[in-house]
Structure 1
Amino acid sequence: MTTSDIVQKLWNLCDVLRDDGINYTNYVTELVLLLFIKMEHENTESGLLQAHKLPEYARWPEFTSRSGLNLLNHYKSSLLKLSQSTDSLIAAVYADAQTSLKEPRHLEQLIKSLDSIDWFSAKQDGLGDLYEGLLEKNASETKSGAGQYFTPRPLIDAIVELIQPQAGETIQDPAAGTAGFLIAADTFIRGKTDNLYDLPEAKRRFQINKAYLGMELVSSTRRLALMNCLLHGMEGDDEGVVHIGNTLGSAGSSLPKSDIILSNPPFGTAKGGGGPTRDDLTFATSNKQLAFLQHIVRHLKDGGRAAVVLPDNVLFESGVGADIRRDLMDKCRVHTILRLPTGIFYAQGVKTNVLFFQKVSQAATKSTQEVWVYDMRANAPKFGKRTPLTRGHFDDFKLCFGEDANGRSARQDQGEAGRFRRFSRDWITSEKGDSLDIAWLKDENAEDAADLPEPSVLAREAVEELNAAVEELEAILAELGGEPA
């Protein structure tokens, strides 16, 4: 069976489990809880692991040899014990883990499906690709939630190809989601180093254990990320590649500086985290994307490079937003902006961009002298299930970007009729008031009412903007010694 065949087989099982009240996201989580046990069993049987990491009660034969209520009760008991494990990684994978399954027969079906996979062939085809296929299906089938944290793989691959991560560099994603950026960077480096075998042993261990670091706020999403990394051969430190924590809180301030930062911070108002509480950021703001942008600049090493997916409002927001952009253009060379088409994220209607920049220094001024903008949005295809985004859609942009990872290749301004143009810092200041929301092409589809976001999306965006404004005003009031309303 090919990887796609296995993905489809496992996915079809979800339709059976929906009778048990299992939604897509719960199903993928359920698979992860069992997949870790199955993976550990296979690696031990094949000799890749010298000894079992899991205790005897949680080894694969303990589940395949049981049935009925005995199986379901043993599974529930095992999840609780594993969540309390003294092994940091096991405890992380099973943190707050609870099964959504109520029918023993459904658990038996899941176990039999995983047991029937030809593990050797699946590993040859790429277990990581199999797992990412499930994540992508989950994101596309789930109208909210999963789609918020899944960045389309063609976009990730295009960004990584342009940033050109190298063996020995440290790579960070402060809003890791399911770790797509970190895994793509690792895949890129493996492709350049014969799957790391061209590297000396010490450098190979560095790539596996120390090169990558992510932070994720939601424990269930982190669980998906940890499994994704493990299936791709990325182990990380004792806590895994992706740590649990709030990047916009004290946990984020303790993250190290990195050579490369790749990230897609969450859109809108993230659940569960509240507003930013960092006291080491230069500008106080309740806008989470602006706070993430400040974190990225602060945690890049001098000379380091970054690519960040950000919504339009970060490019044009006035007040503190303009202050943060000026600070960004002082400390970093913001050399390229990619205006992304709408419809490529599962949160429909979101207008996004990719900012590419290189850190000069925390004390630098006027580092950005010019910004190149590529408009992939105007007159773009209507992306969605019928017209999926592919790597080929980025070919022209990559050609315009050039071969230098810091945007220093020779470039040509295509003029008002072209998609790629140069804008000086002086022009951005005088004509745009330091807004980086720069467009010049007439979009023939822009006036088509059918292309507008759903009213609920527009209403939600308006509510989020109003809430952000209220938070800003309350913060100002608190500073003045007044009481919030």
Structure 2
Amino acid sequence: MSTATHDIVAKLWNLCNILKDDGVTYHQYVIELTYLLFLKMAKETSTERQLPEGYRWDDLEGQTEKPLEFYKGLLSYLGSHGSTLVKEIFTDAHSSIKKDTTLSTLVTKIDKLDWYSAKREGLGDIYEGLLEKNANEKKAGAGQYFTPRPLIDSMVRVMRPTLDDIIQDPAAGTGGFLIAANRYIREHSNPNSWTNKQNNKYHGNTFYGMEHVQDTHRLALMNLILHGLDSAPQGAGIQYGDTLSPDGQALPPATLILTNPPFGSKKGGGLPNRSDFEFPTSNKQFCFLQHIYLGLKPGGRAAAVFPDNVLFESNVGRQIRTALMDKCNLHTILRLPSGIFYAQGVKTNVLFFTRGKKQTGNTKEVWVYDLRTNTPQFGRRTSLRREYFAEFEAFFGDDPLGGSPSLAQRTDTGEEGRFRRFSRDWIAERDDNLDISWLKDEREEENGELPEPAILAQEAISELEAAIAELQGIVQELGEEISL
């Protein structure tokens, strides 16, 4: 993020103090700003034609009597009028602002921002910076909606999206993966040289996503607009829906899936409403894993973030891992550092795999890169940066499919190194347990210290959730009903 972008983001975030004084919660900060920024940015980018006359920035700014009453009426009106995208952003929109003076102050301060510099820096980068700021400031749960950008960029870099890809994120959050893939495509080709056919493919059949939380979906749509991804026809872009329902089955088969699915169990412990899942379970991670490998075209590739329990849970977890390694070439696992997601103690991995052209025997070997042991403790004090992934990317190589010739060129660094090869037969002897580690944690040996209490508590919660999910699987296999 450039200095100018950082300064504009800081000024926007400072507006949250005005909202906080009016009783608006952390959760609502960016949502409230999104409504106002959409109106202002539509004016600055000359795209106000999407908005009905009388319901634009100048109309709001010109209100001197009862501006809050006008604004709330505007939000309601835009939920059913204007372009399709406008209606999606403002569906069921409401404001938590309580005072006319609060709204007037926000409008005045937004209007006085250096919009010339904002446009020069890129409105999309500024809005994404605001989302990142919000994720860093929120006390819990932000990792569900905001994946650290250095990690996204590294995943995109090794997956090498192209204009020929059909790219999907079934748990889109605020759209970070699709935006990063778009940036990579445009940086590694010349959009000015694209043919009409390529342009039509790019706008109409390249980027697909789904988001189940309506407020997050609003943020995603705004993010896409500001990054120039708002011109897709119906069906493309990020849809509001539940991937673990028939909505997800309707997503088109992809050649590339990039995603960080939500952690935890389905609300109420119920099973997903998907007829294509061979292994029904209330564990959302395992449901999304099934969606991903079923949603890939033969030869399609995926990079997806999952917590540790996906690697070791037995019963239905083992069955799904076995199916994954049969249907796909699970060629690489990246063990991520702890602390990069905003719930402390959550341990995660990136799984890289390619859908096979046959249904069995596709995984011959799995390479594991340990970026967790003896690495910095990331968090507020130590931020995750792009360079931490440089060595992994070099070891990964240039083949996003993880084909046999490229794997043959990789080097197993041995027990003292971070990158190791494990045969499919060796993994089978472990009951298809993929939670593989070999390095000793030097910090624990030197200091003899336990992790912070918050981290220990989170790890205990994760283990309990895994145990509950396993028990649910056993009960479901016995054909019994379970209620929590």
Whether the 8 Å CA contact 1:349–1:457 is kept in 2: the answer is yes
How many residues align? The count is 474
397, 402, 423: which one pairs with 2:397? 402
Q: Tell me the distance in 1 between the aligned counterparts of 2:319 and 2:471.
A: 19
Matches within 5 A, 1:105-124: 105-124=101-120
Query: Quick one: structure 1 residues 93 and 19, their matched pair in 2 at CA, closer, same or farther if it must change by over 3 Å?
Result: same
How far is the alpha carbon of 1:456 from its aligned partner?
4.1
Q: Deviations over 1:222-252 (max 9, x none)?
A: 0001101110000133366110111111111
Whether the 8 Å CA contact 1:89–1:240 is kept in 2: the answer is no
Q: Tell me the distance in 2 between the aligned counterparts of 1:438 and 1:483.
A: 32
Q: Deviations over 1:234-289 (max 9, x none)?
A: 01333661101111111111111011000100112366995422121111212111
Letter of the aligned partner of 1:34 in structure 2? L
How far is the alpha carbon of 1:457 from its aligned partner?
2.0
Aligned residue for 1:218? Answer: 213
Aligned residue for 2:165? Answer: 169
Matched residue SS, 1:197: helix
Q: Does residue 201 in structure 1 map to residue 196 in structure 2? A: yes
Aligned residue for 2:462? Answer: 461
How far is the alpha carbon of 1:459 from its aligned partner?
4.7
Matched residue SS, 1:445: helix
Whether the 8 Å CA contact 2:144–2:173 is kept in 1: the answer is no
Q: Tell me the distance in 2 between the aligned counterparts of 1:213 and 1:130.
A: 23
Query: Quick one: structure 1 residues 325 and 154, their matched pair in 2 at CA, closer, same or farther if it must change by over 3 Å?
Result: same
Q: Does residue 147 in structure 1 map to residue 143 in structure 2? A: yes
288, 304, 323: which one pairs with 2:300? 304
Aligned residue for 2:318? Answer: 322
Q: Tell me the distance in 1 between the aligned counterparts of 2:116 and 2:204.
A: 24
Whether the 8 Å CA contact 2:144–2:261 is kept in 1: the answer is no
Q: Deviations over 1:197-243 (max 9, x none)?
A: 23123322432343101001000000001101110000133366110
Q: Tell me the distance in 1 between the aligned counterparts of 2:287 and 2:34.
A: 32
Root mean square deviation, CA, Å = 2.1
Aligned residue for 1:63? Answer: 60
Whether the 8 Å CA contact 1:181–1:262 is kept in 2: the answer is yes
Q: Deviations over 1:406-452 (max 9, x none)?
A: 2343110101100001111011112x221111111011234631356
247, 250, 254: which one pairs with 2:246? 250
28, 36, 40: which one pairs with 2:30? 28
Mean alpha-carbon deviation: is it higher for 112-121 or for 145-154? Answer: 112-121
Whether the 8 Å CA contact 1:267–1:289 is kept in 2: the answer is yes
Structure 1: 5+ residue runs without aligned partners? Answer: none
Matched residue SS, 1:112: helix
Matched residue SS, 2:274: coil
Query: Quick one: structure 1 residues 316 and 269, their matched pair in 2 at CA, closer, same or farther if it must change by over 3 Å?
Result: same
Aligned residue for 2:371? Answer: 376
Q: Tell me the distance in 1 between the aligned counterparts of 2:302 and 2:276.
A: 20
Whether the 8 Å CA contact 1:175–1:265 is kept in 2: the answer is yes
Letter of the aligned partner of 1:435 in structure 2? N
Whether the 8 Å CA contact 1:226–1:240 is kept in 2: the answer is no
Q: Tell me the distance in 2 between the aligned counterparts of 1:263 and 1:73.
A: 40
Mean alpha-carbon deviation: is it higher for 107-116 or for 376-385? Answer: 107-116
Whether the 8 Å CA contact 1:175–1:247 is kept in 2: the answer is yes
Q: Tell me the distance in 2 between the aligned counterparts of 1:115 and 1:372.
A: 52
- Paired-residue identity, %: 50
Whether the 8 Å CA contact 1:67–1:104 is kept in 2: the answer is no
Aligned residue for 2:431? Answer: 433
Give the TM-score of the pair, scaled to structure 1: 0.93
Query: Quick one: structure 1 residues 274 and 217, their matched pair in 2 at CA, closer, same or farther if it must change by over 3 Å?
Result: farther
37, 40, 45: which one pairs with 1:38? 40
Matches within 5 A, 1:442-481: 442-446=440-444, 448-451=449-452, 453-469=454-470, 471-476=472-477, 479=479
Q: Tell me the distance in 2 between the aligned counterparts of 1:459 and 1:375.
A: 22
Whether the 8 Å CA contact 1:169–1:259 is kept in 2: the answer is yes
Matches within 5 A, 1:229-378: 229-235=224-230, 236-238=232-234, 241-269=237-265, 275-361=271-357, 363-378=358-373
Matched residue SS, 1:460: helix
Whether the 8 Å CA contact 1:217–1:273 is kept in 2: the answer is no
How far is the alpha carbon of 1:386 from its aligned partner?
1.4
Query: Quick one: structure 1 residues 462 and 356, their matched pair in 2 at CA, closer, same or farther if it must change by over 3 Å?
Result: closer
Mean alpha-carbon deviation: is it higher for 395-404 or for 263-272? Answer: 263-272
Q: Tell me the distance in 1 between the aligned counterparts of 2:332 and 2:467.
A: 30
Query: Quick one: structure 1 residues 343 and 125, their matched pair in 2 at CA, closer, same or farther if it must change by over 3 Å?
Result: same
How far is the alpha carbon of 1:13 from its aligned partner?
1.6
Whether the 8 Å CA contact 1:316–1:322 is kept in 2: the answer is yes
Whether the 8 Å CA contact 1:331–1:359 is kept in 2: the answer is yes
Whether the 8 Å CA contact 1:88–1:239 is kept in 2: the answer is no
Query: Quick one: structure 1 residues 273 and 181, their matched pair in 2 at CA, closer, same or farther if it must change by over 3 Å?
Result: farther
Q: Tell me the distance in 1 between the aligned counterparts of 2:402 and 2:467.
A: 37
Letter of the aligned partner of 2:449 in structure 1? D
Q: Tell me the distance in 1 between the aligned counterparts of 2:201 and 2:109.
A: 35
Q: Tell me the distance in 1 between the aligned counterparts of 2:422 and 2:6.
A: 44
Q: Deviations over 1:375-395 (max 9, x none)?
A: 001111111121100000001
